[in-house]
Amino acid sequence: MKRRLIRLGIIVIIILIVLVPTVTLLNHWMSTSASGDISVGTPGAEQTAAPEPSRPVAVTTSRFTTELPAGFTIKRTTETPDAPITLLELLANTNSQTDQQLALSIGILPHEGIRGNGDYNLRASNTVAYTPFRPDAMPAGAQAFRTLSGPASFVVFWPHGTQYAEIALSSDGGSSLTQLQATFSQMMAAWTWK
């Protein structure tokens, strides 16, 4: 019996000798921050070089063309011609003076019109978080909503024939609603459907 207890004690000590450093290393690894670059998706094919700082940024897709203020960079372009969302374009303003993000989605217009779009319905029904909004240069037939709290942001739903554009402009807090509207106005002034 005494030999058994000694063996059990030795086994417990060995397990503790292995387990304690392992748990300590694992805890240290999990609590430190990671460093490095993360790349997601593919950059837009038309964006081969960084634009000059003072020139507008041309955005050319299979569905539309437009221009954005200097400093915007195409972060991701995804085309899925057979899906309800046929094009997704994500852009960010890399100018150190702003913090604007832009998401452009082009989709197949539901049979019910824009009211059949889930994103639209979320904003129309959640009056605690969103309110109808009319930014400068809003196209005819479009409807928009802005957030009621947090950093400035708004989304425009724009039906066009059998498709629609969902244009979302947001800020991390450095840009005001007026600055987002200026970006939207410049984009709408150059917008051409294909």
CATH of segment(s) 57-193:
3.40.1000.10
Mean residue pLDDT across the chain? 84
pLDDT reading at 103 higher than 70: yes
Residue 30: pLDDT band (50, 70, 90) is low
pLDDT reading at 38 higher than 70: no
Amino acid at 87: L
pLDDT tens digits, 61-75: 999 999 999 889 999
pLDDT tens digits, 11-25: 878 776 766 666 665
pLDDT reading at 39 higher than 70: no
Higher pLDDT, 16 or 186: 186
What is the full DSSP assignment across 106-118?
EEEPPTTGGGG-H
Q: Which residues contact 11 (CB under 8 A, 6 or more apart)?
A: none
- What is the Cα–Cα distance from 173 to 74, expressed in whole angstroms? 21
Domain residue spans of the chain: 1-35, 57-193
- What is the Cα–Cα distance from 171 to 150, expressed in whole angstroms? 9
- What is the Cα–Cα distance from 41 to 77, expressed in whole angstroms? 7
